[in-house]
């Protein structure tokens, strides 16, 4: 049984159809990639799943229950956490306090000692424990990405949505991120849905990949199957490969 089901979801913004009858499933314990050219609708999917946007049609089901009646501020307590394409940290707060915010989102504003312990554990897991007491402002971009990931992990989710986690990272940082994603999936028994433009990262960590283009699902399969799909090649390159003569 799928942990997350996106069923025939349509979302319009005025005359623009951002998502057009999109359907896909994410199964427990897998890393699923969600890829597509710019403007394909990937982040809109995340915003529908996390209830930032309400779909004009369709259904989103998590662990057998619809999410559409869940208010956005309750999504984390349902077991879903996310990172953002553009960093959403509080620059004037310490790194630790930024992560504590994520912990409170699932635990409530109580048991402060337990909450801070969970936040420190999350920072240690992503390799950011040594900056816990420093303000977020002024830290290297790659480190800020890790802090945001720690904040999502501190909420103890079952489903983690990663929105462009490799954006702005150098080659070595991207390789380290891939190792980290694999490690946290295994260590937390997590299910991960990954939106990313860095194809080497997506294809290297994903069990299955779903492809959007102009708001529609055009392909799904293993990384190897998707990379050979003519519709995917056309969407990215603007032309289908020539058939061998």
Which tens digit of pLDDT belongs to each residue from 122-171? 999 999 999 999 999 999 999 999 999 999 999 889 999 999 999 889 99
Q: Are residues 9 and 60 in the same domain?
A: yes
Average pLDDT over residues 25-49: 96
In degrees to the nearest 10, what's the CA dihedral of 107, 111, 112, 118?
A: -50
Collapsing DSSP to helix, strand or coil, 101 comes out as: helix
- Please tell me the total count of domains within the chain: 2
Does residue 163 lie within any of the structural domains? yes
- Residues spanned by the domain of 100: 92-153
Q: Are residues 114 and 144 in the same domain?
A: yes
What average pLDDT does the chain have? 91
Does residue 186 lie within any of the structural domains? yes
Q: What percent of the chain has pLDDT over 70?
A: 93
Does residue 215 lie within any of the structural domains? yes
Question: Does 55 have pLDDT greater than 70?
Answer: yes
pLDDT in tens, 22-35: 999 999 999 999 99
Does residue 245 lie within any of the structural domains? no
Both structure tokens of 3? 């942990």
Q: CB-side exposure of 197: number of CA atoms within 13 Å?
A: 12
Other Cβ atoms closer than 10 A to 50: 19
Provide the whole-model pTM. Answer: 0.90
Q: Are residues 215 and 122 in the same domain?
A: no
Q: Are residues 38 and 68 in the same domain?
A: yes
**Predicted local confidence at residue 108, as pLDDT:** 54
Judged by average pLDDT, the poorest of 55-59, 70-74, 201-205 is 70-74
């Amino acid at each position: 049984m799928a942990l997350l089901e996106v069923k025939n979801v349509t979302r319009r913004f005025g005359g623009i159809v951002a998502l057009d009858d999109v359907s896909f499933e994410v199964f427990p314990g897998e890393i699923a990639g969600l890829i597509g050219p710019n403007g394909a609708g990937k982040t809109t999917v995340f915003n529908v799943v996390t209830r930032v946007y309400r779909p004009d049609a369709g259904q989103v089901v998590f662990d057998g229950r619809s999410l559409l009646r869940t208010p956005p501020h309750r999504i984390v307590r349902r077991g879903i956490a996310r990172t953002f394409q553009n960093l959403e940290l509080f620059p004037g707060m310490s790194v630790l306090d930024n992560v504590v915010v994520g912990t409170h989102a699932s635990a409530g504003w109580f048991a402060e000692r337990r909450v801070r312990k969970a936040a420190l554990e999350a920072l240690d897991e992503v390799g950011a424990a040594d900056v816990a007491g420093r303000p977020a402002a002024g830290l290297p971009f790659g480190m800020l990405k890790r802090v945001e990931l720690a904040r999502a992990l501190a909420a103890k989710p079952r489903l983690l949505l990663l929105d462009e986690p490799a954006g702005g990272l150098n080659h070595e940082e991207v390789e380290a991120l891939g190792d980290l994603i694999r490690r946290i999936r295994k260590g937390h028994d997590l299910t991960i849905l990954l939106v990313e433009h860095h194809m080497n990262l997506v294809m290297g960590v994903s069990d299955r990949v779903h492809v959007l283009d102009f708001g529609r699902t055009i392909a799904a399969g293993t990384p190897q199957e998707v990379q050979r799909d003519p519709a995917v090649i056309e969407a990215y390159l603007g032309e289908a490969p020539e058939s061998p003569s």
